[in-house]
Amino acid sequence: MQYLLTLLFFSLVLGQQVPEENGVLILNDQNFEYVLKKYEFVLVDFYAHWCGHCHHLAPVFASAARQVRNQNVQFAKINCPQYEHLCRRFQVNGFPTLKLFGDGQLMMEYQGDRTEKAIVDWMRKKTNKGSVEAKSLDQLKKISESPNLVMVFFGEQKESYEFMQYFQFSQKNKHIPAMHTFNQNYANEMRVQVPSIVIYKPYDERKASITDNFEISYIEQFIKKHSYPVLMNFDIQTAKRIFKGDQPTLFLLQNSYTNQAEKQLRLALSKIKDQILICIANTDNKYGVRLMQYFGIQNDYLPQIVAFNPISESFNLLSEITKDGIINFTQSFLGLHQNPQKQDL
């Protein structure tokens, strides 16, 4: 009994007490319809207590719930062997099965990867209608501390041009959590200018603001610029961004024996960070090794700075790595990169 009391806590839903475990509502035949009608969207995990795959998914599902759930969106689960009639009603033939309900009706079944990121991204796309108005200062403080990039509009009135542009952008980019407020006291407490779009991010300087250009195209470029840390580590995600993009990139290729060059790169950051993407590739892992092979560089030549143009797949190399050398090399590359020349070792 003590174990159950520590495991579960209760939330009030339409006058009924609905047990909740790790941020996921526990459904049964008494509260099932109530929960679906109470919340605009509910993602339900139809599981079986004896199912190994269900046990594996449970912490992933709970972690996703903590990132997505709000006053309109909830995550819930139901034990099918205990409530067979409900699972048969929704044609659940295997475990676990995830189904999304909207306005009390079944919308669709989730068919994506069983990973936290995949579930979070899918739910945000399916349930996000654009920026939502903050109901309290606590809501704004909470979203500003998000582990993901988020954006908040601080303005004076809903009918303003600035807000219209921001809201249209939020509707087209539903993968980015967005909020807005027209409360001047909230803006003062958050120490931001009105009107402004503030980007909160879990890296670098933590926040960046737009205060003078609210065109959708500018917002898009601003978000793109701040979507990654100034100094990125090379992995599969950054590789996609760089090699499928159109922005020139400065790579530092190094291993654990040559990482003293990183200090010089960090000293140069303030002069080059707004001009070019910057990425560290550690050749002690497979992604760094592949990049080293792509550029035709051998271990004996590390550390090495590479300026890369993804449009022409051309690159220049710098071996003498100093702060001033990196700055001059970058500016020279960018000045020539309309017609760059490939230089091999």
Q: What CA–CA distance (Å, rounded) separates 249 from 279?
A: 7
pLDDT digits (tens, 9 = 90+) for 68-90: 888 789 999 999 999 999 999 99
Q: Where are the beta strands (DSSP E) in 65-148?
A: 73-79, 97-102, 105-109, 132-133
Q: Where are the beta strands (DSSP E) in the chain?
A: 9-13, 16-21, 24-26, 41-47, 73-79, 97-102, 105-109, 132-133, 150-154, 178-181, 196-200, 207-210, 231-233, 249-254, 277-282, 304-309, 314-318
Looking at residue 16, its pLDDT comes to: 63
What six digits make up the tokens of 314?
């051309």
Is the pLDDT score of 1 beyond 90? no
Is the pLDDT score of 173 beyond 50? yes
pLDDT digits (tens, 9 = 90+) for 225-259: 888 888 999 998 889 889 988 889 999 999 988 88
Is the pLDDT score of 6 beyond 50? no
Give the mean model confidence (pLDDT) for residues 160-182. Answer: 92
Mean pLDDT of the chain: 88
Q: What CA–CA distance (Å, rounded) separates 146 from 143?
A: 5
Q: Which of 41-55, 165-179, 289-303 has the highest mean pLDDT?
A: 41-55
pLDDT digits (tens, 9 = 90+) for 256-287: 888 889 999 999 998 998 889 999 999 999 99
Cα torsion for 171, 174, 177, 179, to the nearest 10°?
10
Q: What CA–CA distance (Å, rounded) separates 68 from 110?
A: 15
**pTM tops 0.75, yes or no:** no
Those residues whose C-beta lies under 8 Å from the C-beta of residue 27, and which sit 6 or more positions away, are: 18, 35, 44, 76, 77, 78, 83, 86
Size (the chain), residues: 345
Phi-psi map region of 23: left, alpha, beta (phi>0 left; psi -120 to 50 alpha): left
Q: Which of 130, 129, 192 is nearest to 156 (CA)?
A: 192
pLDDT digits (tens, 9 = 90+) for 10-44: 344 444 678 999 999 999 999 999 999 999 999 99
Report residue 342's pLDDT band, with 50, 70 and 90 as the boundaries.
very low
Query: Tokens 């659940």 belong to which residue?
Result: 92
